[in-house]
């Protein structure tokens, strides 16, 4: 089930409790599938059983057996057990047990509005200054921060830029200035409605940095594995007769890696020019050779440089290589300098030899991709904050960016924000 959901767009998880949440999501989908099949069957059976031709007169008494009552009671009992036995305790441990900054959690406030995310950091003292609605100024003070309140002088805020450190508990107090929004960090499996007048805590922990996430996401893109974001493309590879990392193979001895001798699927690509092994229609001059005007089936792609797995025409290299035929003049069984030889294969690529250019595991010109309007392939778009509530006409613009930093990067970023704040204050004087 979880694999199907990933194919349908469930993003990579970078949350410390992502596995548990994904398991719940899978369970919920199974339950819904069972209910769908159950109720669908009931509906169809009812349509057939109570069709007009079978019972032309409406029966005002209906079903006489009590089996439906038994079913109803059973369903109610199961639901009561699920709710009181499982749901309530899980909810209590997850939602009531909110970490705070005394326990080492990073505490951040998020104020949603049409159509932006205001991120409020308490600064080095760890104390949030108070904010007042009457101080709100959409240009200079979107969160209505009262700089004269205790702890407020070092507070800073960003718009749509949330930075957090990796592998640390994060607590976000969520609220909104106007309508209901929904704070969503899909990769962190965080989703919480923001309600006007309420301050709702959410907490989570990231297991990898943005950089690690990007390289993972891009490697998934390259292997055509499901991943949310970025543009999918078809990574094609030439038939080169040797096993490449991305070829499928039959794991004969089941050790999880490709071993020499195991069968594999050698993949191919188109490049728009005729290559040695392309099929062609021998036209006009039936010479069994490819002529410039012959039709051909185009395989393989070029990137202009020789790659390890490119096929090449192993040509004369001017020196005698082992295995080449030679005229053994003095009949001593070995090649001696000066003896004629067939300058043939030496098994390696020599500069100047023709070669067929292949793919190297990244997007190359000529590969198919889903163009999201700009005509070039975009890599992973990184982590986003989205609003999962249709909160107004500009809802689609309500997009923030999440950066998961290493501890050092996060400290550097905090210092940078403190420096900006200092500059701002100086300007005020």
Which residues lie near Cu ion (CB under 5 A)?
181, 387, 391, 398
Residue closer to Cu ion, measured from CB, 217 or 391:
391
Residue closer to Cu ion, measured from CB, 173 or 278:
173
Q: Minimum Å distance from CB 162 to Cu ion?
A: 15
- Residue 293 burial (CB count, 10 A): 8
Q: Is the peptide bond before 298 cis (omega within 30 degrees of 0)?
A: no
Q: Minimum Å distance from CB 399 to Cu ion?
A: 10
Residue closer to Cu ion, measured from CB, 152 or 398:
398
Q: Minimum Å distance from CB 37 to Cu ion?
A: 35
**What's the rounded Cα separation, in Å, for the pair 306 and 272?**
18
Residues 6+ apart with CB under 8 A from 358: 237, 238, 240, 269, 300, 301, 307, 309, 310, 311
Q: Minimum Å distance from CB 199 to Cu ion?
A: 17
Residue closer to Cu ion, measured from CB, 181 or 220:
181
Q: Where are the beta strands (DSSP E) in 303-382?
A: none
Closest by CA position to 172, among listed 134, 149, 206: 206
Query: Are residues 359 and 235 in contact, defined by beta-carbon separation less than 8 angstroms?
Result: yes
Residue closer to Cu ion, measured from CB, 177 or 181:
181
Contacts 24+ apart (CB under 8 A), 277-283: 277/239, 277/311, 277/356
Q: Minimum Å distance from CB 200 to Cu ion?
A: 15
Closest by CA position to 195, among listed 208, 183, 181: 181
Residue closer to Cu ion, measured from CB, 113 or 356:
113
Which residue matches tokens 């998020």? 110
User: Max CA-CA distance within the chain?
Assistant: 115
Q: Minimum Å distance from CB 181 to Cu ion?
A: 3
């Amino acid at each position: 089930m979880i694999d199907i959901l990933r194919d349908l767009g469930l993003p990579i998880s970078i949350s410390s409790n992502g596995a548990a949440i994904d398991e719940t999501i899978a369970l919920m989908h199974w339950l819904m599938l069972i209910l769908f099949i159950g109720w669908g069957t009931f509906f169809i059976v009812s349509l057939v059983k109570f069709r007009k031709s079978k019972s032309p007169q409406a029966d005002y008494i209906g079903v006489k057996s009590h089996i439906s009552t038994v079913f109803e009671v059973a369903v109610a009992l199961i639901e009561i057990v699920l709710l009181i036995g499982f749901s309530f305790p899980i909810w209590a441990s997850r939602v009531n047990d909110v970490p705070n900054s005394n326990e080492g959690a990073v505490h951040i406030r998020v104020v949603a509005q049409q159509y932006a995310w205001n991120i409020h950091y308490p600064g080095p003292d760890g104390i949030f200054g108070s904010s007042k609605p009457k101080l709100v100024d959409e240009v200079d003070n979107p969160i209505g921060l009262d700089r004269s309140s205790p702890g407020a002088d070092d507070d800073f805020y960003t718009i749509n830029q949330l930075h957090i450190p990796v592998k640390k508990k994060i607590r976000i107090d969520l609220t909104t200035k106007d309508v209901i929004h929904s704070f969503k960090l899909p990769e962190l499996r965080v989703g919480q409605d923001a309600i006007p007048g309420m301050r709702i805590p959410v907490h989570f922990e990231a297991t990898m940095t943005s950089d690690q996430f990007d390289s993972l996401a891009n490697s998934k893109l390259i292997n055509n594995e499901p991943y949310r974001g970025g543009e999918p493309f078809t990574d094609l590879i030439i038939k080169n007769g040797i096993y490449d990392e991305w070829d499928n193979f039959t794991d004969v001895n089941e050790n999880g890696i490709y071993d020499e001798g195991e069968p594999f699927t050698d993949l191919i690509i188109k490049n728009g020019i005729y290559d040695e092994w392309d099929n062609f229609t021998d036209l006009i001059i039936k010479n069994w050779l490819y002529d410039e005007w012959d039709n051909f089936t185009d395989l393989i792609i070029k990137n202009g440089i020789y790659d390890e797995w490119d096929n090449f025409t192993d040509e004369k290299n001017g020196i005698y290589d082992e295995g080449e035929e030679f005229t053994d003049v003095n009949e001593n069984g070995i090649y001696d300098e000066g003896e004629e030889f067939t300058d043939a294969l030496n098994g390696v690529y020599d500069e100047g030899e023709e070669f067929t250019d292949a793919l190297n595991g990244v997007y190359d010109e000529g590969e198919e991709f889903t163009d999201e309007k700009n005509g070039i392939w975009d890599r992973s778009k990184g982590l986003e904050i989205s609003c999962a509530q249709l909160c107004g006409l500009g809802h689609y613009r309500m997009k923030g960016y999440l950066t998961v930093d290493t501890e050092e990067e996060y400290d550097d970023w905090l210092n940078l924000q403190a420096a900006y704040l200092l500059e701002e204050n100086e300007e005020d004087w």
